[in-house]
Amino acid sequence: MTKAIQKITLSSSRDIPFNKLVLSQSNVRRVKAGVSIEQLAESIAQRTLLQSLSVRAVVDADGNETGMFEVPAGGRRYRALELLVKQKRMSKTQAVPCVVRERGIAEDDSVAENDERVGLHPLDQFRAFQTLRDLGLSEEDIAARHFVNPAIVKQRLRLASVSPKLHELYAEDGMTLEQLMAFSVTADHARQEQVWENVSRSGYDEPYQIRRTLTENTLRGSDRRAQFVGLDAYQRAGGGVLRDLFEHDDGGWLQDVVLLDRLVTEKLKAEAEAIAAEGWKWISVAVDFPYGHVDGLREIEGKPVDLSPEEQATIDALNAEQAKLETEYQDADELPDEIDQRLGEIEAALAAFEDRPMLYDPTEIVRAGVFISIDSEGRLAVDRGYVRPEDEVQASDPDVGQDADVSSSEGQEEGPSVQRTVVAVAGSAPDAEDDDEDAAKPLPDRLITELTAHRTLALRDALAENPAVAFQAVLHNFVLTAFYRFASSGSCLEIGLRTPNFPAQAPGLRESVSAKAVEARHEAWKARLPKSENDLWDALTALDGGAQASLFAHCASFAVNAVYEPANRYNQARVSAHGVRTRLDQADVLARAVGLDMVQAGWRPTVDNYLGRVTKPRILEAVREAKGESSAQLIDHLKKADMAKEAERLLDGSGWLPEPLRLADPDTAPVEQEGEAGSLPEFLADEEDQETVGDEDPQQLDAAE
């Protein structure tokens, strides 16, 4: 026989006047913790009582109820109500909702109410604050209603902006609160999820590692460039800032480094223009100069500007005040904050007088120059009065000094001649990778091979789409083979359908538009052709002329080889310079015939396939050709890696192509003389061109700057 389940009975609830309640000695809470009684009273005043009191009837010695009730569970709420009564904000007869307990132990009720209560999960608190904000409450209002600092509310709201996917991970204990806080540096959900996927897989998932990854392409607000421009000016110009509300972030992270560099350049150039009015011969501007940049230069002597009587009196007063304060607190273990601040102000004021402008001889100014940079604190650093060896007055020429003076006066009438260097925002010290700064340096052989591999694949695709040209190309190859001995060795169509391999696997070649088109076409024909070769003849016979022509063009396209190969000692036995040159020339003929356009074929310059593989002048040349000089100047101060990334962004959609991928103009191509190999194109030029450049007058090159 099944035993009936006994149903539980809940304690009854009723409203009891407050003056009939007393705090029970059975209440186990003795130590103050959490929200204060005053704050709880304010909360009750705003929201009324949200949770009933647990009470028991007070009985006399005979066990009879006295009409009073004690509160074993809910003592803090009772004290808060008591405070409201004392403040005359609540009547002492106000009915209070209570749950009346009859059975059990009062102390057990008190312990259970506190132990079994679960605090709000941080994620629930984040979302609740966000809901209150959406309802129109300000951060200050939310803080006041929940008795927390407004900064805490800002932090919670920032956490609520983290990706919902990461919220769910945190709710399921998939990440820690500290990790979630680290992700709040940015509001980009896609970026947050991408970084979490990477760090969780790699194991480098400490909060500081997450922050570092999220801000890897930004610049610290404490950087000298940011300090020099100022955060307000940067944000007014439209720059974004990432802030960490949970840790000291040194002013945050500036997201638009290119914008900051432009602002730095503009401000430095403006300062240089002002200093140029002093008549200096040259001004060199950089964010920073390498150690020893003044070696070999003569520093001219200047005389400090004389102090006025008022300025001297100020200096004397500051010195006296400084001596008095130092004497007064010489035995103190630690200076009071206000005294320490005042001594700092005095030192700064005295330093300003020490750094007052210098006066220089006008005859020296006209041959000397100035270095302008930014110091480690983000302040403008101006170092005047350095003479280059080539600007020194020659002692053997008695008339040079007089001529220099005349030239100086004439220059001052027309305005000072100022030579500015390019602002090296990332530091003026040249990188080791930029030793080959000559823009005329040939492109690397491997890079040309990779670029022409892209072109070969695109040319195959284009030829397959043009059966008439494909027929003529094969016919041309047949005639060369039949009537011109050895001529076919230089052809770009390696008939016999021997598909040449690419000696260098270019980045992105397999995923290129041309590769996908060739593969799709091949699979389509494969599905139409019989599986057995014995049935192939009949299948081809059944095709009409157009289908046969299309299949012929597709097959012929696999023989295209427009890849550049260096005729060096490793390839000399297999390929000659003349053969490669002839191959590329015929590839140009074929490309013009099919109307090949590498831009339409899907190629675009990236860091991987071009920009990261060439010198800085080559990068600037590309941007200059595609976007103009002004765009090139925006990135000319960057290090090579950063310049390549920014150039990729600038060139996107521009249609710019490097020379190996351009369609050669037959009208401008030089006529090859019989028996001679002909001249190489510019991108294959050897050291002969470099020697020509090296013979140019260096002074003229400097003047071009």
**Do residues 388 and 279 both lie within one domain?**
yes
pLDDT at 319: 92
In a domain, 340, yes or no: yes
Chain centroid, CA 198 distance in Å: 17
Name the pLDDT band for 501 (thresholds 50, 70, 90). low
pLDDT of residue 320: 93
Mean pLDDT across 431-440: 46
* 65-73 vs 53-59, strand pairing mode: antiparallel
Collapsing DSSP states into helix, strand and coil, what is residue 343? helix
Angle in degrees, 0-180, between the axes of helices 545-557 and 445-464, rounded to the nearest 10: 170
> Domain holding 100: CATH number?
3.90.1530.30
Residues 318 and 217 placed together within one structural domain of the fold: no
Indicate the DSSP class of residue 66: E
- Distance between CA atoms of residues 504 and 447, nearest Å: 9
Q: What is the tens place of the pLDDT at every residue in 149-174?
A: 777 777 777 777 788 888 888 888 88
Q: Name which of 120, 146, 45, 39 is nearest 138 in CA terms.
A: 146
pLDDT on residue 450: 82
Could you write out the DSSP letters of every residue in 559-579? TB-------STTTTTT--HHH
| 104 within domain boundaries | yes
In the predicted model, is pLDDT for residue 32 greater than 60?
no
Residue 699 falls inside a structural domain = no
Measured in degrees and rounded to the nearest 5, phi and psi for residue 304 equal -60, 145
**98-107 pLDDT per residue, tens:** 988 877 666 6
pLDDT digits over 49-103, tens only? 888 888 888 888 887 888 899 888 888 889 889 999 999 999 999 999 998 887 7
Report how far residue 274's alpha carbon sits from residue 266's, in angstroms, rounded to the nearest whole number.
13
Say if residue 473 is in the same domain as residue 597: yes
Per-residue pLDDT, 666: 66
In a domain, 179, yes or no: yes
Is residue 647 included in any domain, yes or no?
A: no
Q: Where are the beta strands (DSSP E) in 379-439?
A: 380-387
One domain for residues 383 and 455: no
Residues 215 and 329 in one domain: no
Q: How far is CA 270 from CA 273, 276, 359, 470, in A?
A: 5, 10, 22, 61
Residues belonging to the chain: 705
Q: Which of 95, 115, 135 is the last residue of a domain?
A: 115
Residues 364 and 312 grouped into a single domain: yes
Q: Which of 353, 338, 315 is nearest to 328 (CA)?
A: 338
Q: How many domains does the chain fold into?
A: 4
Separate counts of helices (H) and strands (E) for the chain: 28, 14
pLDDT-derived band at 611, boundaries 50, 70, 90: very high
Expressed as residue numbers, the domain containing 28 is 13-115
Considering only residues 105 and 424, tell me which one the structure prediction assigns the higher pLDDT. 105
Q: Are residues 299 and 242 in the same domain?
A: no
Domain check: are 296 and 230 in the same one?
A: no
| pLDDT the model gives residue 239 | 87
Q: What whole-number distance in Å separates Cα of residue 567 and Cα of residue 577?
A: 5
The reply to whether 458 and 360 lie within a common domain is: no
- Give the full edge-to-edge strand order of the sheet including 253-254: 219-220, 253-254, 241-242
Q: How confident is the model at residue 424 (pLDDT cuts 50, 70, 90)?
A: very low
Whole-number Å distance between alpha carbons of 622 and 393: 42
Given a cut of 70, whether residue 22 has pLDDT beyond it is: yes
Query: Does the residue 442 lie in any domain?
Result: no
| Structural tokens at position 32 | 């103050």
Answer yes or no: is 439 within a domain: no
Q: 616 in a domain, yes or no?
A: no
Residue 65's pLDDT is 83
**Tell me: the pLDDT tens digits for 413-423?**
333 444 443 33
**Shared-domain flag, residues 577 and 671:** yes
Q: Do 531 and 668 lie in a common domain?
A: yes
Lowest-confidence pick of 282-296, 434-448, 637-651: 434-448
Per-residue tokens: 410: 């004439």
Same domain membership, residue 149 and residue 71: no
Q: Which of 218, 241, 259 is the last residue of a domain?
A: 259
The chain-wide mean pLDDT, for the chain, equals 76
Output the domain CATH number for residue 215: 1.10.10
